[in-house]
Chains A and B, each alone.
Chain A
Amino acid sequence: MDTPPLVAAIRFGNGRRLGEPLPDDALAWLDAQTVGAGPPLPWPEGYDTPPTLAVGFAIWMAQEANPPKPGEQSPVNLLFSAEQLAWAGHQLRSDEPFRDRLTSFWLNHFTVSLLSGLGPRVGVGPMLRDAIRPHVGGRFGDMLNAVSHSAAMIYYLDQDASVGPNSTLGKHGRRGMNENLAREILELHTLSPAGGYTQADVTEMARLMTGWGVQRKREPFDVVFTPTSHEPGEKTVLGRRFPEGGEAYAAALSMLATHPATQRHLATKLVRHFVADNPPPAAVAKIEGVLRDTGSDLGAAARALVRLPEAWAPPLTKLRSPQDYVLAIHRAVGGTDAGQFKRGTIILGQQMWNAAQPNGWPDTAAGWSGPEPMMQRIDVAYDFAARSARNDPMLVLESALGPLARAETRSAVQRSGSRRDALTLLFASREMQRR
């Protein structure tokens, strides 16, 4: 077994699936996953077609009319849970794990969370399928625009509550401006604080965005621009002037998407995610350059990432996040139980789409290590080892790690008195905890 294809499956994928064929040409395999939109994602069970926003809103409305009895799962939560299982199930079986990793990366970049009400819960599936996934190999501007116009994000960061003070509705005393989404677009999604924007830019951006909201109780059951709540007049963001009207939002996003500060911010995050907790400056500069030269083409950035020498050597340095970890041990034994995967991520504190804050999940070892978190990983490994104990541990080791397995790990697994102990040791090994 050649090491680079295996490193590709671990470092850029979600760990090798048991017995999964390894590509002859690791770079060609990775490149192919950055092109086009990829095959459609599986959608939640029980639906003939992927549930749209309108379907989610109908479920939400029905729930408002007929609230669930105490102890009963609410219909919206059932939909949300089904969306979680669909996305998890796809990743467990996927043979395009690099596309999945990129998708997860951008999902985390554009965090929405079930913690803030029903909107993100019904909106996250459509956001994944329609706003993120099609663009992981495309232009960042297109993804930013789609996400910023998605119901999940508009609800999550309160844009639906933002009304221009001098708009028709505003003058009738209907609420005021909410700059939450405007601020996070500048701080988290694009420029970052290093981009040097001011509070005035945030306020102007928020004024510019007023009118954008969600029409969930009547046609079109979608994100809409409502002129009567839009703040009149011209706005100035980062020194550029934008005319009154709904189109200014997309124009401002387009400007932000290719801003040098945005490109540096994205490059730093990508290199931190795929290479090292402390991103090597040369690697960041390389990716930043690619984004600059291509108008923030994320496919080009991804293809440049996999060509960074730092991304291949030394292998297995990044600590896997809990989701990545649980995914990797499931894939290592060919596991397909999305519910079991979800339970593991809940125990380890990283349930899908449940981040505490808009800056998403940590992407460094420091964010996930700690005595009890590490003990809980071992407990999850021990539990999952019992469920996987029909597998030959050495076969799993050879498939998942092959030549990357350290002698200490190999010997600990070999010398175990039971399959369960052997698999526990394999799952707990540093090679499985890192990528």
Chain B
Amino acid sequence: MADNHTIEPQVLPPNPEKATLEGRNKYLGFWFFLGGETVLFGSLFGTYLGLRGGTADGPGPSDLFHVDLVFIMTMLLLTSSLTSVFAIINMKRGNYKGLLLWMTATVVLGLAFLGFEIYEFYEYNHQGLGFGVSAFASAFYTLVGTHGAHVTFGVSWITVLLIRYRKSGLTLTNAPKFYTAVLYWHFIDVVWVFIFTVVYLLGIGG
């Protein structure tokens, strides 16, 4: 068997991401990680909510936020969540090309989101909201910046997977990898929903 180099193709199982012990462990372990991430973002949200009134004569939320821009960013991220759902459905159908295509769409939408965010931070900095200007500024940049770092990491993660497995076809090794990357991406979207509501909408409304 060791010197037989031809690999026998396997039959596609209904849930290829959970067909092996390794896949099941990755799936479960990743959810444990997401439970911890929830607490990380919880502490950043708590800090922001505690400090958002402390603008120290610098610009405040209602002077800065462009909700139209943030609304477009939200739509981009929501749509990228849907494209990653399509990617997983294609994976379960055994359509590997479809998986790669929808994952690429997810990456493109994620990059568009990042572009808007960088523009946004640049604008705020230009309007006098440096990181150390006020307690509000530090709390805002830390919370939204940590989310942006997660988006950056997610985009890089999916890109690496797409390059690494561009020719391999769907296997029991890469199915859990794509699946956990998609879970991560959805989680980023969940966090953004709260940032959109708590930071931006409450920032101009409350």
To the question of whether A and B form a pair in one complex, the answer is: no
